[in-house]
Structure 1
Amino acid sequence: MAQEASIVCALLALDCEGLKGAVLKGPGGPAQDAFIQAFRDTLRERTIFRLPPHAGIDRLAGSLDIAETLRTGMPCHDRGLLAEADGGVLLLTSAERLPAEKAALIAAQLDDGPSRFAVIVLDEGLDDEAAPAILRERIAFHINTGAFDAVAPADLHAARRLLPGVSVPGHIAEGLCQTALALGIASLRPAVMALRAARAAAAIDGRSVVDDDDARLAARLVLAPRARRFPVEEQEQDAPPSPPEAQSSEAEGEETAPTPGELSEMLLEAVKASLPEGLLAALEANLREVQAKSGAGAVSQKMGLARGRPAGTRHGVPRNGARLSLIDTLRAAAPWQPLRRRQSPARDGLLVERADFRVKRFKQKRQTTAIFAVDASGSAALHRMAEAKGAVELILADCYVRRDEAALIAFRGKTADLLLPPTRSLQRAKKSLADLPGGGGTPLCAGIEQAMLVAQNVRRGGGTPLVVFLTDGKANIARDGTADRALALRDAETAASVLKRAGVRALMIDLSDARGGPARRIADAMGASYLALPHADAARISHSVSAVMKA
């Protein structure tokens, strides 16, 4: 796999603008750093511009420099990072968090913008998180960084001189297009990029004509990661006899080029050989997924940067959607007018400088997600489970009014299950609550770890998690699944300390009759608010949780 990564690096370095870039999928680490360093060593004449996901639209696309415009009396503009990256490489870090409107701007530049650059996308998303589809479609190579360790830079001086004269035979171009269709790739872009990758491979090998091996390499590197399905082998049908003219025209023993159909079958076999084991079965499921829109429609989800209720002003430049507070700006500039007029007697009117700018501040309520981790073990009495279900249903109704969300985790036996992902749907909640199981051991550690995972996902989505534990704290199932009460309590305290270090707000509702028992120890370990409600009903639990959520 290291050799394949080196080939990708060389192909991309040879034809940056045509192949557009590479998506590096996987956790950040030495593998990503090795690829970027090799790419930097191969393209010494190109500058790499880093774009973090929090960079604003104005920094990306450029904007009017208000301070410089006021100072000179003429419109002055910032170029923006996309213009500055012309002729270089744009490095997108944490691309799975890149907003759709920024991805659309970059995609427009890749298509036909005035700036020409390549893009290296660092995609560290987990599960269903991924870099925007509008970018992944336009970038040739998709690499799993966990598959290689080191990348060696290549010397491409001779290949650069040869590349413009490399030609592609017609049967190879048609074969690559047929292969893309057979793999369920609807867009024409991957087939075009596969052709460019084949031309670059031929140039690196010192040839001016693309051959079948170049096509196989391009299909494996460009088309295979995009495969949505694999064609089912059909039963062979009797082929019609060849025309007499065609049979007589072939000289005996003469080698002929494969037809596009034959080449497509060869390329499919090459793609099949490069796919990981077990992936072909998963490809069929991908057909049922709804493909993300790639185009201008992706910008329709844009969120304004100045929403909520007014909360005064602050010093700053009106960029990235921030609104200029004209009155406060003029008020800040007024005391300096005599001094500025003496310094600049040739300037007329009100003299406003960058230090005078004031922008409006807004307070926007962040969505809170209450994550209920309910002890469904045998130690929790049946009436306690009924109270917990009633409390969750009441809080969900309250969350629906406030536009907050709630999730439900039940831990029993040896595992903890997410019965209800974060939602505001009362119907889904009632169904999950009705099926809430009971009985078995108390794997409190598993419940805390599952709540931590859900809380992390809520934070990635921009929300604020609140974990609510309803338990008596009598853990008796350890992290490894063994029935050891002392070890189970130590594992639960360790998991609780991890939750505390992550800064996740938590509320421990002790349902046992003994105040200050094991539930109190767990609450102290996780830094949670402790509430002993041995005789609480659903209404009291709901009122307590709602008070914490509103705090």
Structure 2
Amino acid sequence: MPAQYPFCAVVGSDDMTLALTLVAIDPLIGGVLVRGEKGTAKTTTVRGLAEVLPLVRTYAGDRFSVDPDDSLAVCPDGPIDASTPVVERPVRLVELPVGASDDRVTGSLKLDAALRDGVVAFEPGLLARAHRGLLYVDEVNLLPDHLVDLLLDAAATGRVSVERDGVSVEHASRFVLIGTMNPEEGELRPQLLDRFGLTVEVAAPRDPALRVEVVRRRLAFDADPEGFATRWAGEQDVLRARLAAARRLVPDVVLDDETLTTIAEVCAAFDVDGLRADLVTARTAVAHAGWQGRTHVTREDVRVAARLALPHRRRRNPFDEPGLDEDRLDDLLGNDDLDPGPDGPDDGPGGPGGGPPDDAPQDGRSRDTHDSHAGESPAPDNAPQPAVAGSVASAGEPARARLLVVRGTGEGQAGRRSRARTPQGRVVGQQRGAPVASRLHLPGTITAAAPHQRSRGGLTEGRGLVFAPGDLRRAETVGRESNLVLLCVDASGSMAARRRMEQVKTAVLALLLDAYRRRDKVALVTFRQRTADVALPPTGSVEVASRRLADLPAGGRTPLAEGLERSAEVLRREALRDPSRRPLLVVVTDGRATFGPDALGRAHRAAAHLAASGVQSVVVDCETGRFRLGLAAQLAASLQAEHVPLGEVTADGLTSVVHAATAPREGVA
């Protein structure tokens, strides 16, 4: 097995290593979510953690890692013989791929046993393998909803129940859940976010000396992995022993009523939902005290715990960025009890596991937080005002968008939006062939094999059903997919009344909020002056979207053709990247085209090209005034799109239009 980068050799990620250390001391804290940009050693650090954890006692050959010291534990394979030896093995780090099927995660029918011997046997999944270990999900924010549901159920109950394909099995599955993610690629579902006990933000260090040390160590490891690991073996042993000692000390740590009250006051002051924050903060403070070798929780322990346990629990909607005002936290905790307590000096959360000995100590610095402009209310504006070219209108508070579905049945990525054939969902039929990503259709397989049993010698004494490869049937399932909603918005002078642009932005934010809930992608193309710009590439990250929209300018001439052409380019590129995701184009315009020669003719030719490509479209007519030219209706005809007159683009109006255009028609599957 190749050498793993030593946990103690990680530089410049003190919060991450500390959080992982604390959940290793007390797994009941509930896991760690690591948020950060690419290239910040998130995966390297997580993989290194398993090597410094104490060994696990289990029965030899046990597929479900039953604890020999738990008299109530039951093995699904049946009673374990008293003569079965007890062995010690390293803690498992089980990696859950984002594209895994639910059968791979929870377990499924063992096909070879069923086909060869006619026996219904259970093949354990990743959740069984992760029992009493670490379950790691890289890019956890990209995890499909069906896997998120499985993780939520296992994390909440500590057990996995499988009732499928003639299999009925229940087994324990208690694990430390560790997830890493890049926020720019989309956010995490609130239900799963709450299941992570701690969260940390990581970024590449800005100190040149620290960056040099990171590169120096990585180059040394790549050149000689075994030699590098050997040089750090002593520090790894020290950390391993300290972790074991902290685990033994935790039951003796005193958490008095005064400290519990302080924790409750802090959680209440930061207005977190529920009581899980209080419980996690308390457990983390106890674990930190044990890590420092103390049997008494101090306010510094509470401070460290609050910094790690509360930031992700303060979010009220996806436009809110995680974070904690550490100055306010210090005010709440006060400075009258920052001494280490009766057990001796506090050496801080650094040291082994919190950063190698030669690293700079953790300084408890606060992170920069950025105020989102997404919820900023528009300035008072009693009458529509023509916007100056390049002026910026703010978005209002987004309303909840109505359900958006694309007509027909697609085959896109699993989501919560439109009807689609997906590997998971409701079984509606069967198809011939071995299941690869989809599940086995057991009744259909048995039915196909039954007529051939006499000729195959099946169902005789000592033999069950005899199957052939041609008997296999896979289940045809229908669920929900995610879609791409591309808004092409006229931000020129003809559309640039400030009030109108505020409502366009508010509507886009409402669609983004709905896309976040339903796992969609949303993109935004704007056109003004001489060009069309991709203000928001296809994304599911509402944080990035809200920041882009906040600075969207308006005014100038109307390059309508360029807007449609840029929209076609975005859809073409996205189709190459993700051909199964069905798009909907929403063009918000009054139909005017004022830039370039034959501006209107070029716009209609671009529209006809989009129509020929089969893109489903809607034109929202924003023309106002007593005398109207009807240009948007003509554009809709060229696009073969539905034309919806809308004098003023309100959030409710725009989202209603999208819903009406995409709702299933009567008689259409």
TM interval, shorter chain, is: 0.5 to 0.7
Residue pairs, 1:526-537, within 5 angstroms: 537=634
Which amino acid is 2:366 matched to? S
2:314 and 2:480 map into 1 onto residues whose CA distance is 42
Cα shift at 1:86: 0.6
**Cα deviation per residue 1:257-314 (whole Å; 9 max; x = unaligned)?**
99xxxxxxxxxxxxx97353455999999xx9999xxxxxxxx96987366986x723
2:489 and 2:600 map into 1 onto residues whose CA distance is 11
Cα shift at 1:448: 3.0
**Cα deviation per residue 1:359-400 (whole Å; 9 max; x = unaligned)?**
254799978767474788799xxxxxxxxxxxxxxxxxxxxx
**Cα deviation per residue 1:379-429 (whole Å; 9 max; x = unaligned)?**
9xxxxxxxxxxxxxxxxxxxxxxxx9998744112664879x99xxxxxxx
1:541 and 1:192 map into 2 onto residues whose CA distance is 60
The SS at the match of 1:143 is: strand
1:515 and 1:104 map into 2 onto residues whose CA distance is 46
Contact 2:593/2:603 (8 A) holds in 1: no
188 and 453 in structure 1: CA distance in 2 versus 1, 3 angstrom threshold? farther
Q: In structure 2, what is the equivalent of residue 274 of structure 1?
A: 366
Residue pairs, 1:501-516, within 5 angstroms: 512=601
Which stretch of structure 1 is more off in the superposition, 26-35 or 354-363? 354-363
Q: In structure 2, what is the equivalent of residue 77 of structure 1?
A: 122
Contact 2:593/2:599 (8 A) holds in 1: yes
Q: Which runs of 5 or more structure 2 residues have no equivalent in the other structure?
A: 1-11, 55-89, 159-171, 206-210, 218-234, 316-323, 329-335, 341-363, 378-396, 401-414, 495-519, 540-553, 615-632, 644-661, 663-667
Cα shift at 1:205: 1.5
461 and 102 in structure 1: CA distance in 2 versus 1, 3 angstrom threshold? farther
% same residue: 25
Matched, 1:42 2:157: no
1:352 aligned to 455, 467, 472, which one? 467
2:181 aligned to 116, 120, 123, which one? 123
1:212 and 1:376 map into 2 onto residues whose CA distance is 53
Q: TM-score, normalised by structure 2?
A: 0.49
Q: In structure 2, what is the equivalent of residue 542 of structure 1?
A: 639
Cα shift at 1:63: 3.3
Higher helix share: 1
324 and 143 in structure 1: CA distance in 2 versus 1, 3 angstrom threshold? same
The SS at the match of 1:120 is: strand
1:133 and 1:366 map into 2 onto residues whose CA distance is 20
The SS at the match of 2:310 is: helix
Q: Which runs of 5 or more structure 1 residues have no equivalent in the other structure?
A: 234-253, 259-271, 292-299, 380-403, 423-436, 477-484, 486-508, 530-535
1:167 aligned to 254, 259, 268, which one? 254
1:313 and 1:198 map into 2 onto residues whose CA distance is 55
Residue pairs, 1:137-286, within 5 angstroms: 137-146=194-203, 154-155=239-240, 156-228=243-315, 274-278=366-370
Size of the alignment, in residue pairs?
422
Which amino acid is 2:14 matched to? Q
The SS at the match of 2:124 is: coil
41 and 157 in structure 1: CA distance in 2 versus 1, 3 angstrom threshold? same
Q: In structure 1, what is the equivalent of residue 548 of structure 2?
A: none
The SS at the match of 1:49 is: strand
2:556 and 2:289 map into 1 onto residues whose CA distance is 66
Cα shift at 1:80: 2.2
Q: In structure 1, what is the equivalent of residue 191 of structure 2?
A: 134
1:28 and 1:79 map into 2 onto residues whose CA distance is 33
Matched, 1:108 2:153: yes
1:59 aligned to 95, 104, 107, which one? 104
Contact 2:35/2:180 (8 A) holds in 1: yes
The SS at the match of 2:108 is: coil
Q: In structure 2, what is the equivalent of residue 21 of structure 1?
A: 31
2:456 and 2:367 map into 1 onto residues whose CA distance is 72
Cα shift at 1:180: 0.6
457 and 145 in structure 1: CA distance in 2 versus 1, 3 angstrom threshold? farther
Aligned-residue RMSD, C-alpha: 5.9
Bigger relative contact order, structure 1 or 2 (CA pairs below 8 A, ≥6 apart): 2
Cα shift at 1:332: 5.9
133 and 405 in structure 1: CA distance in 2 versus 1, 3 angstrom threshold? closer
Higher strand share: 2
Q: In structure 2, what is the equivalent of residue 382 of structure 1?
A: none
2:22 aligned to 3, 8, 11, which one? 11
Residue pairs, 1:469-488, within 5 angstroms: none
Contact 2:34/2:42 (8 A) holds in 1: yes
2:583 aligned to 461, 465, 469, which one? 465
Which stretch of structure 1 is more off in the superposition, 369-378 or 202-211? 369-378
